[in-house]
Every structure is written in C-alpha cells, then in structure tokens.
Amino acid sequence: MTSAASVHFHAPAGHIIGRHDGAVLRATGIRYARAVRFQLPVAELPATAPIQATSPAPACPQVADSLLAPALGSLFAGMTYDEDCLRLSVTRPAEQYPDEQLPVIVWVHGGSYVTGAGDLAVYDPGTLVAEQRVVFVAVTYRLGLLGFLGQEGGTPPNLGLLDLLEALRWVQRNISAFGGHPEMVTMFGQSAGADAIAHLMVAEGAQGLFKRVILHSAPLGLSRNRRAMSQAMAQAAGTFGPTATIDEVLARESTVTQAARRFGLKSGMPFGTQYGAHPLPHEADMDTSWRAAASRVDVLIGATAEETRFFAVLDPKYRRLLSLPLVGRLLSRPLVAISSRLVYLKATKAFARRHAQAGGRAYHFSVLFRPPGSEFGAAHTIDLPLLLGTQASWSFAPILGRATWEQVQEAGRQVRQLWADFARTGVLPSQVEIPGVLRLRQVKE
C-alpha cells in the first residue's frame, strides 16, 4: 500500500516507511546493526515503532580527502557523518509484478578503506534499478581506525568486514519485503569495496549469504604480506580513553597512516583486511579457501585499462614529468602500465584464473572507456558513471572531460544490461566487445 508521497514495506525488521522517486521506490538509512566504538557489531532488533527511511545513511566519520576533488569534484557535498553509520538503503522498481522476485545487488563502496559512503550521490542506482529491474542495497560500514585496524588483545581487527556480514544477514531476513529474491544476491564493489567482497567470499559465516560477486578494480596486488605494516600501525595507534572524541580518533588516524609509509607500495592502501583474525583464514590458507569457495560463488572481475592514471594525474610529481618536452608523455605511459599491473591487473586476472581452475564460473573484463577531453583516460573510477549516478551527481567530475551525460549513458547501457544479466543468472556470453567501452571474456580452466 502506498500514498502519494510515501511507500510502506512490512518486513521482519519492522514497518519501514520509504518514498516514491519517479520510476523507483527508496527506503534509505535503515539501521542494520549497532556498534560501540571498537567493538563487534550487534544486529538491530525488530523495531516496535515505524522506521522512517527517507534520509540518506550518514557516512562513517573520516579524514577529509580533498585530493580527490580534481578528479571527482565535491563528492561529499551535503553528506552528514556519524559513528552510528551501520545503515543501508534499498532501491527497487516502482512497479512490481505479481509474484515477481527480483535479483538483489548489494553495493559496497570503495575509498581505500578510509573514505566513502554508501549513499553518495555518484552511487545513485536509480537508472540501473528502473532500467534492469533489480533491487539495489547500498551499505555503509565502518572505515579507517574505526573499522580496519586492530590487534590481538585489543581492538578486534576486521570490524568493517563484520559490519558487512551483518548487513548481508539483514538482507537475507528482509529483502523479500522489497520484492527481492534472497537466494539471488550479488555483491558488487569497486576498489576497496571489491577487495572487501573478495575476502568475504572466504569469511567465516558468509556462506549462503550471497551467490555472485562483481569486483571492479580490486587492489588485490596489495593484499598480501601486510602483517608487519599492520603491527606498526597498531603500535602507532595506541589506545584511546573512554572519553576520546571522534576528532581525536581521526587525528590519530593521520599519524597511523604516516607509520605505514616505510612499507612501500602497499602503504598506498594502509588500512585493510587482516588475515588470521576473525572472520578470515590465515594468509597461508587464503588460496585454498578461495578455491574451496569457487563452486559456491560466480565471479565477474576486472579493472580499467589505465587504473593508476587516476592517482598519477593527481600527483604533482607526475604532472611535472608530463610537462617535460617530448619525453614527458613517453615516460608516463610505462609508469602507469607497470603500476596498474602490479596493483590491479595481474592479481585480478590471477583471481579469475584460479577461480575457473577450481571449478567456478568466472568472467574477466577490462573497461576501455576514455571520455573525450579527459586527461584521466580509462582510469580508476571511470567505470562508475557507466553504472551508477545521475547527470547532476557527475556533472562536476573532471574525470568525464567533455563527455555529455547522454554519451556516458549510451556507453553504459550495454554494461548495465550485462551486469544485471549476471545478477539474474550468473551466465554471460563467452566473449563480449563493446567498442571503446568494454572487453569481456569467460575464463576457462
């Protein structure tokens, strides 16, 4: 039953009041768990009063990252921040057909495990949901010191991963009330979000919570041999008194990041998952665990063609290199190619190959989209506007160069269809070529 402005969902979580928004219905900022600072998440109990779900989920408090603005613009304009951020938002088509159960896509945002939020405007799923008839769940979870650093006898590591597990359990209990099929859940993440999902594939307690994964630009080349760096970071973090403010926590996070600098390339993403701490296996067992998961989870994984060009263009040293007459651009190409391969491309292909060899269904893709007039080319994040966001949310983004929103939408139309087909069936053509946009192939044993 709906009124002109609101829509009501009756779920095990309670009576949820969302809203109409054109061709979709939205229920936003729903609490799926609660957590005391540096403690395990606890699932939210069913509500006895109606749940007002009409405001975006707040972002986890985070150190402001103004370095991204020259590429992505004012990402966080209008966003609120709150430690009580364990919220999710559901978007579904406005029209529902009798007995229809839609595929569910659970979105995990990126941001190097230190920035981002599930309800950023650039992640708006409205077009994808209305066009492809899927239910989309965007999850906000703890970041940085609050979610991804800990040590034995102190703060539990991997709290952000445990948050995501609670969100997935909420989806299993409640998504039918939104027309979604709980046995047809696909996790979809970009960058650190994709890295988190890759690790959830082998996390204790995750089996049966999702059936497929779509992994964009997972920095899997940085995931190994992090123990010494994490220990140095934990030592730098120290402990916090019970009255410490969130500003004091964030100030310490900056100090902790500095402590990771001496650990080379992987210090580019100092916060992250920790092996051997609940819910993850020990590092020596990861390959075996991923192979064991292959029969349970379908994988669609890939990256953009020039991943690290995103970071390079934002780096003053790289820009000085580009300014060198004649040789600047010649030297820049191999730097981007080598670093992209080390952080993203090599490990992404290896992940798909191992999955297929272990008997799983795996597809690998490369995003080739290069907007006209953009110095970023086919860089990290260029895949996002092909799938998510609106003209208003992306209009400020220099990474799109001179591309019109109509051009972006046209480039993304077939990608959205493929991704939705994967969420529905797990099966795609063995080879797909969308000229200037995407190349995809099934990975064989």
Residues identified as active-site: 191, 307, 380
Tokens of 262: 């001496």
SS3 425: helix
Residue 341 neighbours by CB distance under 10 Å: 17
Q: Using CB atoms within 10 A of its CB, is residue 444 exposed (0-12), middle (13-18) or buried (19+)?
A: exposed
- Please give the Cα distance from 330 to 315 (Å, whole number): 17
Helix (H, G, I), strand (E, B) or coil at 365: strand
In the block, which residue shows the tokens 């064989």? Answer: 444
Residue written as tokens 């896509």?
105
What is d(CA 232, CA 234) in angstroms, rounded to the nearest whole number?
6
The two tokens of residue 429 are: 């053509």
Q: CA 356 from chain center: how many Å?
A: 23
Cα gap 204→351, rounded to integer Å:
20
Contact 140, 59 (CB under 8 A): yes
Q: In whole angstroms, what separates CA 19 from the centre of its chain?
A: 25
CA distances from residue 404 to 161, 372, 392 in whole angstroms, order as listed:
37, 9, 12
CA distance 282 to 297: 21
Kindly state the tokens that stand for 340.
Answer: 């992209």
Q: Determine phi and psi for 214, rounding to 5 degrees.
A: -120, 115
Report the DSSP pairing between strands 51-52 and 14-21.
parallel
Using DSSP bridges, classify how beta strands 51-52 and 6-11 pair: parallel, antiparallel or unpaired.
Answer: unpaired
DSSP H helical ranges for 238-368: 246-259, 286-293, 309-314, 316-322, 327-340, 346-357
